[in-house]
Every structure is written in C-alpha cells, then in structure tokens.
Chains A and B, each alone.
Chain A
Amino acid sequence: MFKQIMKDKYASAALIILVIMYLMVLFADFIAPYSKDFADRNQSYAPPSKVFVIDENGRFSRPYTYNYKREYIPELYQTVYTLDRSQKYYINLFNRGEEYKFLGVFKTSRHLFGVENSGRLYILGTDINGRDVFSRLLFGGRISLTIGFLSLFILFPIGLIYGGISGYFGGVVDMLMMRFAEAVMAIPSFYLLIILAAILPSNMTSTQRFTLIVVILALIGWSGFARVVRGMVLSIKNEEFVLAAKTIGASRLRIILKHILPQTSSYVIIAMTLSVPSYILAESGLSFLGLGIQQPDASWGNMLKEAQEYINILYRPWLLTPGFLIFIAVLSFNLIGDTIRDILDPKGQIRE
C-alpha cells in the first residue's frame, strides 16, 4: 500500500509533510529554542526576531539578531518594540540553552539553534505572556496531532464490538442497541462535546484533563461507526464460513471477534484515516473555546484563542500560525485518506 500511496503526487507530498510534522513534534525539545513554559514577561507580543546576514558594513556575516526593546509611547497609547542595536547575538547551531531530557532518555542542554542566554530569538514572535510562539507550536503539536489518534483507538474497538454484537444477535438486542446509538447520533455532536467538556472538574492535572478529553472525543463518534459495522455484520453473518464456525461449536463471542469483525477491516482502515482530521478539528475547536486543553499547556487550538481579539489579528498576525498548521495537517490527512480509500475500495462499494 505504501508504494501505491507514493505513486500519487498529492498523497506522497501529504505523507512527507506529515512525517516531517510528526518528527518535528517528536523532537520538539531539541528543535525548539525554548521550553513551552519559558516566558519573558518583558517581551509580551514581541514581533518575530529580525535575522541579519549582512552586517552594518555591508559584508556577509554569520546570521545574527538583535533583541527587542519595549517602549511605551504615551502619545500613541501604544507599546512599540524597537531593535536594540547595542548588542549583536549570533545564532548558534547546537546552542546551549535550558536543560531537558532528550526523548526522555538522557539529559542535555543542546538545542538545534538559538542565541546566547541574554539574547532572545523568536522566529514567530511571542504571545501575551512573552512565550516563544515557535517553540509552543512544536509542543502544542504533540497534543493536537496525537489526541485524535488516541481517541480513535478507544472509539474503534467500542464501535466494532457494539456494532458486532448488535448485528450478530439481531432481534430485541439489536433494536435496543440501535435505538440507543441513534439517540446519541441525534444530539448535535458539537453541543454534546462542549457539554461533556464543560462538566469536567476544573481542578484536574493536565494529564488527567488530556486523558478525559480523549475519552470525550471518543464518546462522540462511536455511534455512527457502530451503525455501519452493524450493517456490514448483518450481511456477513449468513455467509458459509460463519455457519462452518457455528457447526464446529465456536462460541458466539469468538465468531464475532475472530470470524466476522476481521471482514470489516478495509472499511475500518478507510474510516480511521478519514476521521483523524475531524478529531484534530474537534480538539482544536474545543481548545479554541477554552474547554479543551488549558493553559499553560499548549495546543494549536488554545494558541489560536488569543487570535480572537481584533487588535491581535490586525497587529500580531504571527498569532495565526497555529491555524495554518491545523489546516495543513488536516489537508494532508484528507489527501492520504482519499488515496487509501481508492486503493482499498476501488469500486466505491463501501458506503458511509
């Protein structure tokens, strides 16, 4: 399948982009010049650092940057950042910065790039608390790009087993189970999502919150999936190999798990790749509203929250970068999902 994906121009580009994104997120500690909590209170909403390669004498030089000086201009009622040209800060590769554990294994303080301790390098500016947006994008990506996957790994087993049981047993069991699933589907999903997120107690640690958001996202999507699985089980359960298993004396659970459900695998793969993006969007929407991942943790959705204010979007466009990343990630997943569907289901037999 991998070869077939690489044959498609768009899908292979999307796959490469996603691999780069996940690698960057995985090595966030190393690539980001700062940690996600590093804050310089004097540099709130500082614009992106200017990087120079030609020095004041017009000669090429190693890339360097200047720090920003914050001044309040009373006549304009504005805070203005100007370059403090008194001191140059050269950008160093493998710069020594804050200490962290590389991939959780060994301690180091080398970062891919950065400037000396007293200098500041913000390639995408800073947020209201003076935290580096670029670094937080990388750490936020860890949450935004994984939360959807984790939910899917809860949702799909539930949907498979629920749909499997409902379809195989039939009769009253089927009717009751399906009415319940339909009722869950009848509640507008986003309304349910915000309500479930809002009743979470506020005194949780960020890990607990993350886990519960994963569970909530899973609770939203299982019903539609279970219904499709049930439909497929209904048509599979009268096939001869099921009858054969019955005659041998296999238990009903074994028949469902071992004989029937594996038949739905291509649908499951298609549905999974196609639904990753909607979970990324759901998480970011939730965090954007302030109901998902909370500060000081970063996620692309909650970083965009600051872009809700007019002043910010007009004068601080770098705060919009998380939105573009969500867009690129979702687009890439969609392109790959489409291609996988074309490969596994060339005739479009599987209908959602």
Chain B
Amino acid sequence: MNILKYILKRIVQVIPLLFIVSIISFFIIRLSPIDPLAELRLNPSISQETLQKETQRLGLDKPIPVQYVKWASAFVKGDLGITSSGEKVSDKLKERIPNTLLLTSIVIFMTWIVGIPLGILGAMFHKSQFDRLLTIFSSIGMAIPSFFFAILLLIFAVKTSLFPVGGLTSFDFDEMSLGGKVLDLARHLVLPVTVLFTISLAGLQRQMRANMLEVMESDYVKFARAKGLSEFKVIFKHALRNALNPMITLLGFEFAGLLSGAALTEYVFQYPGLGRLILEAVMKSDINLVMASLMMGSIMLVLGNLIADILLIITDPRIRN
C-alpha cells in the first residue's frame, strides 16, 4: 500500500506544477508584442466570423488575467483553438505528438540497450585501452552539434541515396502492404534516430560507467569479492543493481533532453514531429499553436519524470520508507 500512496502523492504534485508552467508560458507569450491574430487576419480564407469567434474565445477584449482563465479552461476541456491556416490545433498535435514519441522512445530504448552494457564494460576494464577508446568516442559524441551531425548524414544520404531524405513516410505510403509500411517507416527513421542515438548514447555510457565505478568502490562489493564470489556474480548481482538506480532518475532527464534535442534534428530532416511543429509555429507567430505545443511538451516532460520516479520506487525499496 505504501507504494500506491507514494505514487498517488507524486501524481497529485504534478497538477500545481503544470499550473505554474501554464502561467509562465501564458505570460511570456501574451506579454510579447505579437498580435495573436495577425496571421489569421492576413489569411483571406479565414472568414470574419471565425476571427470574431477566436477573439471571443481568447477574450482579447478583456484584461490579461481573464484571458488566462478563459484560455486555461478551454485548454482543460480540450479546445485549443485554430492555427493561422485555419486547422484545429488539437488535430495538428494529434498528428505530430505520436511521431515525436515514436522517435524518442526508439532512441531511449536503443541507448539503454547499448549504453548500459558499454558503461559496465568501461567500468570493468577501467583505465584499459578499451575504456580509453570508449571515453574518446563518448567525448566526440557529446561534442558534436546535433544539427551539424544531421547535415553530415544528409550529405551521406543524398550521395549514396541509401536512405530517403525528409519526412516520415514515402508519398505512396497508403498503398503499401503492412510489411512495406513498416519497412518504409524504418527507412525514414534511420537517420534521425542515428543522430539522437549517438548524442544521447555518449552521455548515458559516461553516466553508467561513473555509477559502476562508484559502486565497485563500495564496501558491499568488496565484501562480496572477499566472500569469494565470481567476478560475474559480483558485478551482475551486487554492483549492477545499485548502479542502475540513478540511471532511472536520469531517464526523465534524458527524455527532456531528447525533446529539446529532437527539435533541431526534426528541423533538419523535415521530420513531422512536435519539435518542428513548434518551430514552424514560432516562425509564423502562430500563438495558439505555440501555446498548445509548449504546454504539450511540458506535459510530456513532466509525465516522463513521473514515470521515472514511479519506476524508481518499484526498483529501490529505500525510497518507499
């Protein structure tokens, strides 16, 4: 029961947090010198009626706190307004968020599968030639700017035409068989995944290696060795479990980093994700879209941290008490 109570407490804490986030982002955007309806006004296909409706919905004729309340209550109900090209914001988000989640979850999955073992190996063979090599590679991975790496991969893709450039699906995606669809998606995902994978792998490997090294110094590992356990058992039964816990906290941060990092990568590869959506929205000063995607990004981040916290409770009994 203790676990459930703690989880519930964490979930309840999220609500005031999101409330403050919404106030901050609302005021940043509303206090800026941008007319929220400028684009709509210039768009000839938007009728006067829609404009009126938007003005009323946002309460632009009223003071700012009233506007906030109006906006927030509409947001909670799921009414996010329309974009400057007249589409519903919620539809746009529904189309983009899964793409970003797909990209980030593949990347996180792959970095864990590869990064954790590499971190363990780095710590096991501490200061060996192999460890040096890994350290050099991770330094390089951490230093390369994501957009620059993306451009280099683009050159590679264009020169070899091995991978399609841009987008998530080919133009004839709808006519493909199921297997063909999966293959097509995978081919489009290779390049953006490679960029984000390389960059987050470097950080994860370093962190895991540092954790392992720290745990290996601890008394209980020394004791396990003194007991005469095999090195394999010492590492995988005693050291690894303790070294993994901080990584779970890191999972939340990794997710946050990926959301931000993905924006530039999505931009270079023309990948239809949330990051590119918010970029386009910002450039067109499409206020409704900016507000909504900013909030969705924050919600995703907060939820990511929440999931990491809950996982940690399950794996680390010390926190429960």
In the complex, B239 has a CB within 8 A of chain A: no
Interface SS majority for chain B:
helix
Residues of B within 8 A of A307 (CB): 151
> Closest CB-CB distance, A99 to chain B, in whole Å?
35
Residue of A nearest to B144 (CB): A327
Q: Cβ of B290 and Cβ of A195 under 8 Å apart? A: yes
In the complex, B44 has a CB within 8 A of chain A: no
- Residue in B155, B210, B267 whose CB lies within 8 Å of A314: B155
Q: Cβ of A188 and Cβ of B256 under 8 Å apart? A: yes
Residues of B within 8 A of A308 (CB): 151, 268
Interface SS majority for chain A:
helix
Q: Cβ of A313 and Cβ of B151 under 8 Å apart? A: yes
In the complex, B140 has a CB within 8 A of chain A: yes
- Residue in B139, B154, B264 whose CB lies within 8 Å of A334: B139
Q: Cβ of B267 and Cβ of A289 under 8 Å apart? A: yes
In the complex, A47 has a CB within 8 A of chain B: no
Number of B interface residues, CB 8 Å? 53
> Closest CB-CB distance, B137 to chain A, in whole Å?
12
A308-352 residues with Cβ-Cβ distance < 8 A to B are 308, 310, 313-314, 320, 323, 326-327, 330-331, 334-335, 338, 348
Interface-facing stretch out of B15-23, B111-119, B172-180: B15-23
In the complex, B32 has a CB within 8 A of chain A: yes
> Closest CB-CB distance, A317 to chain B, in whole Å?
8
A225 to B16, CA, bound (A): 22
A338 to B138, CA, bound (A): 12
Residues of B within 8 A of A304 (CB): 147-148, 151
Q: Cβ of A277 and Cβ of B143 under 8 Å apart? A: yes
B262-280 residues with Cβ-Cβ distance < 8 A to A are 263-264, 267-268, 275, 278-279
A307 to B145, CA, bound (A): 14
Q: Cβ of A191 and Cβ of B294 under 8 Å apart? A: yes
Q: Cβ of A187 and Cβ of B143 under 8 Å apart? A: no
In the complex, B302 has a CB within 8 A of chain A: yes
In the complex, A169 has a CB within 8 A of chain B: no
A186 to B22, CA, bound (A): 10
* Per-residue A-contact encoding for B1-40, CB less than 8 Å = 1, 0 else: 0000000000000001110110011001100111000000
Enumerate 8 A-B pairs (CB-CB under 8 Å) in ascending A order. Answer: A183-B17, A187-B21, A191-B260, A199-B29, A291-B282, A323-B145, A330-B142, A331-B140
Taking A199-B34, A285-B146, A327-B148 as known contacts, 6 extra A-B pairs with beta carbons closer than 8 A to each other, sorted by chain A number, are A183-B17, A186-B21, A188-B260, A194-B278, A199-B32, A320-B151
Question: Which residues of B are in contact with A by a Cβ distance under 8 Å?
Answer: 16-18, 20-21, 24-25, 28-29, 32-34, 139-140, 142-148, 151-152, 154-155, 158-159, 165, 210, 213-214, 256, 259-261, 263-264, 267-268, 275, 278-279, 282-283, 285, 290, 293-294, 297-298, 301-302, 305
Which 8 A-B residue pairs are closest in the complex by CB-CB distance? A190-B260, A199-B32, A331-B143, A323-B148, A183-B20, A330-B143, A198-B282, A188-B259
